[in-house]
Amino acid sequence: MSTASARSVAPAKGKLGVLCVGLGAVASTFIAGVENVRRGRARPHGSLTQLATIRLGKRTEERAPLIKDFVPLAELNDLVFGAWDPLPDNCYQSALHCGVLDKHEHVEPIKDYLQTIVPMPAVFDQYYVKRLEGTNVKPGKSKRAWMEALRQDLRDFKKKNGCDRLVIVWCASTEIFIAPGPQHQTLAAFDKAIDANDPAIAPSMLYAYAAILEGVPFANGAPNLACDVPALEQLAREKGVAIGGKDFKTGQTMIKTVLAPMFKARMLGVAGWYSTNILGNRDGEVLDDPESFKTKEESKLGVLEYILQPKLYPELYGNIFHKVRINYYPPRGDNKEGWDNIDIFGWLGYPMQIKVDFLCRDSILAAPLVLDLALFFDLAQRAKMSGIQEWLSFYFKSPQTAPGLYPEHDLFIQLTKLKNTLRWLMGEEQVTHLGVEYYPYGEK
Ligand SMILES: NC(=O)c1ccc[n+]([C@@H]2O[C@H](COP(=O)([O-])OP(=O)(O)OC[C@H]3O[C@@H](n4cnc5c(N)ncnc54)[C@H](O)[C@@H]3O)[C@@H](O)[C@H]2O)c1
């Protein structure tokens, strides 16, 4: 039985507008996927909010409702979709172009619906994504005017579609690497940099800024900074807006964050980890540019360091050779192949090897994450959980955390964190997995 008190969460009434920055492979697969599910034509595999259960109380109580029956989430039928993209293709054209979903099975039958989702002109500057040329872009060059135009888009979309609430998920291309600088530290410096059209202020930051000012939660699915700067974190807290990122945790990194904790749990050493990918979609093309790849590389490389804690275990993990490569290879389209070669060592230092060959589909892995993030960020907003949503680090390669906190990368710690946060929200006991209460020695 629960003894804790529940947090008050506003009901999920009315429509929730889900706005994707970028209407490429991930966003079109997400939107078309939700519409297929709504029409009973497919199942939402890969989505925790739609399929997962949550254990409540003791194991003997056998209480395990669906997450969506336990916490008040928006219903799929209440979602309204919108997007911005510098390419003018509507969602139908984009889904066909990206070629992730089967044309006859999942695109043509919902053509009329997908055609209605037309991207709004984007805030776009080729300086930040070298391999793209945009025509559907907001005019001018003023970062302040662009940001104000995004705010107006949010108000217009909400009004036009009769939405009660909005949420934004960044599903746009990875921008060039930008290190956090003095321009990002305080709101005053950030505002000054916007007015000076400083290159350190990327379009993703303008979307995030506009979202926070309009009270719209913002989740970042790419590795570029966007809302991951002190100025915007502070603003989000002040304005009571949920933010978080970065970079959807899908293929190779998801596997890494499952295997690495296993090695550490068993005190097996790691000598080297070589990861390489071939990928032929537009994301692969964008990441073929060294400046965009650097942003991705930082995000992918970080996880091992945090999970394996080489400072605590120098003899096991102090000398790892870790390499990550992404190679653009058009014939594969969205069907990425990710290889991992892992050199480990065990008892008395004897070497062993593990090879992983993951023939995955990038956007098929990412689409359910977009859905869960949209629904959970909306939940967080209604629960007045402002600022960084670390409990959603389950979904990210580089989870944003409070200043001074290192992120948790282990997928199963992240899952426990997520579910315990839901229990905390609803006033249920935390599940600690202690378990002595089932044995005589645990009786009080
Ligand atoms: N699919 C995955 O498994 C996965 C995992 C982690 C991260 N991601 C990230 O998600 C993002 C989307 O991936 P994708 O495969 O859909 O790529 P994509 O290239 O198919 O789509 C990205 C879209 O964003 C648009 N865009 C670029 N700059 C924009 C801007 N300033 N405003 C609005 N739109 C803009 C592009 O025109 C394009 O249509 C990428 O950054 C990718 O790195 C994907």
Reported as a single tens digit per residue, the pLDDT across 314-323 is: 999 999 999 9
Question: According to the model, what pLDDT value does residue 370 have?
Answer: 98
- The mean pLDDT value of the chain amounts to 94
Task: Point out the ligand 1 atom lying closest to the alpha carbon of residue 287.
Answer: 43
Q: In what order do the strands lie in the sheet with 337-345?
A: 321-328, 269-279, 337-345, 351-359
Residue 2 above 80 pLDDT?
no
Q: What pLDDT score was predicted for residue 1?
A: 44
Q: How far is the CA of 196 from the centre of ligand 1 (A)?
A: 27
- Please write the tens of the pLDDT for every residue from 159-199: 999 999 999 999 999 999 999 999 999 999 999 999 999 99
Is the CB of residue 342 below 6 angstroms from any atom belonging to ligand 1?
no
> For the residues 248-274, what does the mean pLDDT come to?
94
Q: What does the pLDDT read at residue 132? A: 87
| 384/378 Cα distance (integer angstroms) | 10
For ligand 1, say whether the CB of 283 is within 6 Å of any of its atoms: yes
Are the C-beta atoms of 98 and 114 separated by less than 8 Å? no
Residue nearest to atom 38 of ligand 1 (CA): 24
Q: Which residue has better confidence, 73 or 436?
A: 73
Mean pLDDT value across residues 136-156: 97
CA of 288 to the centre of ligand 1 (A): 13
Q: For 59, which DSSP code?
A: G
pLDDT at 348: 97
Q: Which amino acid is at 265?
A: A
The residue to which tokens 């947090």 are assigned:
7
- Mutate which of 283, 303, 372 for ligand 1? The one with the most ligand atoms within 8 Å of its CB, which is 283
The residues, any chain, with a CB within 8 Å of residue 410's CB and separated by 6 or more, are 257, 260, 261, 307
For ligand 1, atom 3, the nearest C-alpha belongs to 362
Phi-psi region of 194 (alpha: psi -120 to 50; beta: other; left: phi over 0): alpha
Tell me, using a 6 A CB cutoff, whether residue 338 lines ligand 1. no
Q: For residue 13, is pLDDT > 80?
A: yes
289, pLDDT greater than 90: no
Report d(CA 221, CA 27) in Å as an integer: 11
Ligand 1 mean position to 155 CA, how many Å? 24
Q: Is 30 in the pocket of ligand 1 (CB under 6 A)?
A: no
| Residue type present at position 9 | V
Rounded Cα distance, 358 and 355, in Å = 10
* Contact criterion met (CB below 8 Å) for 218 and 241: yes
Mean pLDDT over 24-33 rounds to 97
**Is any ligand 1 atom within 6 A of the Cβ of residue 282?**
yes
pLDDT in the model for residue 332: 85
Residues 6+ apart with CB under 8 A from 405: 390
Q: Is 19 in the pocket of ligand 1 (CB under 6 A)?
A: no
User: With a 6 A CB cut-off, is 363 part of the ligand 1 pocket?
Assistant: yes
Q: What's residue 8's pLDDT?
A: 92
Percent of the chain, pLDDT > 70? Answer: 98
> What are the distances in angstroms from CA 162 to CA 121, 166, 285, 414?
21, 11, 37, 35
* Burial grade of 416 (CB within 10 A; 0-12, 13-18, 19 or more): middle
Q: Is 245 exposed, middle or buried (0-12, 13-18, 19+ CB in 10 A)?
A: buried
Is 233's pLDDT higher than 50? Answer: yes
Nearest CA to ligand 1 atom 21: 24
Q: What is the mean pLDDT of residues 292-303?
A: 76
Write down the H helix ranges in 325-395.
Answer: 362-382
Band of pLDDT at residue 4, cut at 50, 70 and 90: low
> How far is ligand 1, taken at its centre, from the CA of residue 431, in Å?
37
Alpha carbons 374 and 79: distance in angstroms, whole number: 10
